[in-house]
Amino acid sequence: MLKVNAFQPEQAEALDAAERSLIERRQRLLGPAYQLFYDNPLHLVRGAGTWLYDRAGRAYLDLYNNVASVGHSHPRVVEALARQAGELNTHTRYLHEGVLDYAEKLLATMPAALGNVMFTCTGSEANDLALRIARDYTGGTGVIVTRYAYHGMTSAIAELSPSVGDYVPLGRDIRVVDAPLHVPEDPQRVGQVFAAQVRAALADMHRHGIRPAALLVDTLFTSDGVFADPPGFLCEAVEAVRAAGGLFIADEVQPGFGRTGTHMWGFERHGLVPDLVTLGKPMGNGHPLAGLTVRPQILERFGRNASYFNTFGGNPVSAAAGLAVLQVIEDEGLQENARRVGAQLKEGLEGLAREHACLGQVRGAGLFIGADVVDGEGSADGPTARRITNLLRDEGMLIGVSGAQNNALKIRPQLCFSAENVEQFLGALQRVLRQL
């Protein structure tokens, strides 16, 4: 996943001297593990709303970066950060009203059963902590994830993130299942097939003496290529895991914070109340803030015996940023905007798919859409998806790629994306598809 649409060193010859020098400096200082996007990497210096700007002042419409969930450099978030940084920033072993105000506001957006919140700095940390709690509560070690899932970068979480690549082996007690189907003509089949795979994974764990701890899924299956429908299809699989003694961990790092349009959280579309919910990227609009919510009875023993401390997780500045994000989503009607503008975006993409044979299924909810790129036989076409992504970059439109075959266009703009932005993007994509 990390190398999909990554810049390759041999492409440097096409760049100007200043860009080549910057890339060489970066490689020398940061080493070989870091990746750059696009055949022609971007050198960005500023962001505002749905737009990013490069060093030459050229504007790019950002349909990829959900980190700045309410818009790049949102003035209310920036002001909240600056104000609190000018007063106090320290860890959570002191009393501070701002941290508690944020905790109350965040928990109020979730089902009442999820009564406790714990803060981290990254989604990887949040999933790592959720895994520790789930294993402590259940006494199990087995975890079920999807075949191209991504849940983070810590040692424990990379071992259950197959999309990181074969070089990072899966943990011994991890079992993978295929991504959900997309069959609008037979919606019942989606949940039945997915649940059957989960039951097979549980049976294999039992055969090998592995006690299940959790089913961990991103509730829009975004790394797998975005699989949202039908709402409710996850219920049967979650029932199977709970019947076997495991928990359901909903990874809401990408689907959460109103992105689906109809609900604040992706799991709500399925009528589910998870045992743990993990949160990340969009929480602080670019400030490193993440965490999890959990049923208190699940946390009780772990909290009593292990305790928990994170120097920077949930500090007053982070809490100020998080609270500002929630207030902006509410005050600016961004969940409803995601529903309305997302429907326009999806409809436009479906129209282009009818016109251009290289576009296949269009899937998603709200402002998170996956659109398959296929060849003349209808098979996954990763190289063409990469080409489309790079041609769109030349048009000033930034998207990503996902899916096990690297052929799903990943379209995930900020929650403030407008109807005008949709038309700008669809026009650019039409021009690119005609070039093909």
What residues contact residue 366 under an 8 Å CB cut-off, 6+ apart? 258, 259, 260, 261, 262, 338, 339, 342
Please compute Rg for the chain using Cα positions: 21
CA 402 from chain centre, in angstroms, equals 11
3-state helix, strand, coil in the chain (%, to 5): 40, 15, 40
Q: Which two tokens stand for residue 146?
A: 């999807």
Q: Please name which of 162, 159, 131, 132 lies closest in space to residue 146, comparing C-alpha atoms.
A: 162
pLDDT tens across 24-69, in order? Answer: 898 899 988 888 888 888 999 999 999 999 999 999 999 998 899 9
pTM of the predicted structure, to 2 decimals: 0.95
pLDDT surpasses 70 at 242: yes
Strand partners, 160: none
Q: Are 163 and 148 in contact (CB under 8 A)?
A: yes
Q: Percent of the chain having pLDDT more than 90?
A: 88
Query: Where do the H-state alpha helices sit in 86-146?
Result: 97-107, 123-138
Query: Positive or negative, the Cα torsion across 109, 110, 116, 122?
Result: negative
Instruction: Give the pLDDT score at 85.
Output: 97
What 8-state DSSP symbol labels residue 287?
Answer: B
Between residues 174 and 4, the one the model is more confident about: 174
Q: Which two tokens stand for residue 64?
A: 């990829």
Instruction: Give the pLDDT score at 320.
Output: 98
Instruction: Over range 372-387, report the average pLDDT.
Output: 96
Instruction: Give CA angle at 183 (243, 408), nearest 5°.
Output: 100
CA dihedral 94, 96, 99, 105 (to 10 degrees): 140
Instruction: Give the pLDDT score at 21.
Output: 85
CA atoms within 13 A on the CB side of 203: 7
Instruction: Give the pLDDT score at 3.
Output: 65
Instruction: Give the pLDDT score at 326.
Output: 98
Instruction: Over range 289-294, report the average pLDDT.
Output: 98
Widest distance between CA atoms in the chain: 62
Instruction: Over range 198-210, report the average pLDDT.
Output: 98
pLDDT tens across 85-111, in order? Answer: 999 999 988 999 999 999 999 999 999
Instruction: Give the pLDDT score at 2.
Output: 61
Domain limits of the chain? 75-331, 334-428
Residue 430 burial class via C-beta count within 10 angstroms: exposed 0-12, middle 13-18, buried 19 and up:
middle
Q: Which two tokens stand for residue 288?
A: 């490193």
Residue 207 banded pLDDT, cuts 50, 70, 90: very high
Give all strands of the β-sheet with 408-411 in edge-to-edge order. Answer: 359-364, 369-373, 408-411, 400-402
pLDDT surpasses 90 at 4: no
| 45 vs 54: CA distance, rounded Å | 5
What 8-state DSSP symbol labels residue 169?
Answer: P
Instruction: Over range 141-157, report the average pLDDT.
Output: 96
Q: Are 278 and 123 in contact (CB under 8 A)?
A: yes
Instruction: Over range 254-278, report the average pLDDT.
Output: 98
Amino acid sitting at position 14: A
State the average pLDDT for the chain: 95
Instruction: Give the pLDDT score at 264.
Output: 98
Residue 1 banded pLDDT, cuts 50, 70, 90: low
Q: Please name which of 106, 400, 79, 164 lies closest in space to residue 282, comparing C-alpha atoms.
A: 106
Strand partners, 146: 177
Between residues 7 and 109, the one the model is more confident about: 109
What 8-state DSSP symbol labels residue 13?
Answer: G
Query: No. of H helices and E strands in the chain?
Result: 12, 15
Q: Percent of the chain having pLDDT more than 70?
A: 99
For the domain spanning 334-428, the CATH number is: 3.90.1150.10
Phi and psi for 412 in degrees, rounded to 5?
A: -145, 70
Length of the chain equals 436
| 16 vs 31: CA distance, rounded Å | 22
pLDDT surpasses 70 at 313: yes
pLDDT tens across 322-367, in order? Answer: 999 999 999 999 999 999 999 999 999 999 999 999 999 999 999 9
Its CATH architecture, for the domain 75-331, is 3-Layer(aba) Sandwich (3.40)
Separation in Å, CA 120 to CA 258, 298, 318? 21, 18, 10
Q: Please name which of 400, 406, 424, 254 lies closest in space to residue 345, comparing C-alpha atoms.
A: 424
